[in-house]
Amino acid sequence: MSFHIYLLPTVPVAYLATASLAFHILLNLPQGIRNLGFPVFLVPAWRAFATFKCFTWPASLAGIWGLAVLIWMTHIISLLYIDKIQPQSKSRKQWDIKAAYKLLFDVRHLSQSGTNSPPVAAYALRGSSLAFVASRLVKLLVFWLLTVYLFTPLIPLIFGPVQPWEFDHYAQTYIRRLPLFETKEPVTLRETLIRIVFTIRWVWLNYVDVDAAHTFLSIIFVGILRIDTPEEWPSMFGSPLEAYSLRRYWGRFWHRLVYRPYLGLARAVAEKLHCNSLGSRFEKCFLAFMIFLISGVAHAIVSLQDGNYAEAVDDVAFYCMNFLLIAVEEIFIHVASPLRCFLPRSCWRLVGFVWVFMFWFWAAPKWAYHEVHEELVKEAERRNRAQGLQMITGLLGMK
C-alpha cells in the first residue's frame, strides 16, 4: 500500500510526458491535421492537470503543479493554434527532437527574446553548470531554513498561542470594523499586528513555493539531465524594490510565466472582437484585462478541481479587482504627475510601497485566513482528543 502511494506522483508526470510527445507529433504536421489531432494533446494534458492531487508532499506542490500545467497547456495551444508555428523553419528542421523540446517548455519565450547566450566551450559550460547547481542548492537550503525555522512559526513566535477565532470569517474583514464605523467588535492592536506579520509571511511563502519549484527543476535539467544551460534558467522573479505600485508588482517583481501564453489567447479574443478598431489604447487595456481574467479563471479551475467551489469565484474576482485597481492607480499617477517635482523620487516610492503593502494587508487574509482557521480547528480537535484519551486511560488505570 505504501509503495503504491510512492508511485502516485508518477501518474501526472506520465500524462505530461504523453502530452509532450503529442506536441512533438503535432508540431511536425500541417495545420489542418493539427486541428483534427488536437484531442491527442488535450486529453493527456488535461489528465496531467486533473491528477495533481497525486502530489501529497509538500502540501503546496499539488496546486503549483495544477496551475503550471494549465499555463503550459495555454503555451502549447498558443504555439500550435494561434501563432500556428510552421513544421519547419530556418532555425529548426522537421522532426528535430531537441528543437521541439526547446519550444516545449519555453513558456516565457526566452529564446525569442535573446536571453540565451551563444555557445561556449564544453569545459567552460561544465564549470558554469557546476557553479549554477551549487548556487541553486545553497538557495534551496536558505529557503528551507528560513521557511521552517522563521516564517512558518513566525506568528506564534511573536504573539504566543493563537486561537481559531482569530482567523475566522469575521476576522477576514478589517476596513468595515475600523472604529470610525462604530462597529460592535472593532479591530484591536493585536489583530492588526497579527495581520501585518501574516501578510509578510504569506507573500514570502507564495514566493518560495514558486521559486523553490523553479530552482529544483533547474537543478534537474541543468545539473542532472544536462539538456539545458544555466542561461536557459534565469530567475523568475525581479527585485522587490521594483514593486512600488501594483502594476510594477505584477510586471517587474512577480514571475512572468503567464504573460506570453495568456497574451496569445488575449490577442486572439481581441482580434475576434475587432478591438483594434477602437484604438490602440483601448486594445492595450483590453489585453491587460484579459490576461488578469484568464489568470483568475486558471486559479478558479484549480480551486474547482480541488473541491473549493467558493474559492473559485473569489479567484476570478480577485484578479479582476487587481486590473481595476491598477487602472485607478494609473489615473492617480497621471493626475498627481505635476506634484512629482515637489517631492523627491524616494518619497513617491515609499508611498507606493505603503500602498502595495496595504493592498496585500487587506487582500491576503481574505484569501488565506480560512486555511489557517481550519488548521487551528483541526489542531484543537487533535489536542482535545488526546486529552480525552489521557483522561480515559487514567480512569481505567485507577480502577
Rounded alpha-carbon distances, angstroms, from residue 150 to 20, 146, 157, 297, 379: 39, 5, 8, 33, 20
Averaged pLDDT of the chain? 89
- Taking residues 138-159, report their average pLDDT: 94
pLDDT at 42: 97
- Taking residues 292-320, report their average pLDDT: 93
- Taking residues 323-333, report their average pLDDT: 94
Asked if residue 395 has pLDDT above 70, the reply is no
Would you tell me how many other CB atoms lie within 10 Å of the CB of residue 291? 20
Asked if residue 120 has pLDDT above 70, the reply is no
- Taking residues 135-153, report their average pLDDT: 95
Rounded alpha-carbon distances, angstroms, from residue 280 to 143, 286, 322, 323: 43, 10, 22, 18
- Closest by alpha carbon to 46, among 26, 66, 61? 66
Rg (C-alpha) for the chain, rounded Å, is 25
Asked if residue 41 has pLDDT above 60, the reply is yes
- Taking residues 41-48, report their average pLDDT: 97
- Taking residues 272-298, report their average pLDDT: 93
Q: Is 89 in a helix, a strand, or coil? A: strand
Asked if residue 106 has pLDDT above 50, the reply is yes
- Taking residues 132-149, report their average pLDDT: 95
pTM of the model as a whole: 0.89
Count of all residues that appear for the chain in the document: 399
Q: What tens digit of pLDDT does each residue of 343-358 get?
A: 888 899 999 999 999 9
Asked if residue 397 has pLDDT above 80, the reply is no
Least confident of 3-7, 25-29, 112-116: 112-116
Give the Cα-Cα-Cα angle 277, 279, 283 (nearest 5 degrees).
Answer: 90
Rounded Cα gap, residues 83 and 63, in angstroms: 28
Residue with cell 534537474: 220
Q: What tens digit of pLDDT does each residue of 167-202 get?
A: 998 899 898 888 887 778 889 999 999 999 999 999
- Per cent of the chain over pLDDT 70 is 92
- Closest by alpha carbon to 96, among 87, 85, 107, 83? 87
Would you tell me how many other CB atoms lie within 10 Å of the CB of residue 274? 9
What b/e readout covers 26-53, taking b as 16+ CB neighbours within 10 angstroms? bbbeeeeebeeeeebbeebbbbbbebbb
pLDDT at 383: 78
Q: What tens digit of pLDDT does each residue of 222-261 get?
A: 999 999 999 999 999 999 999 999 999 999 999 989 999 9
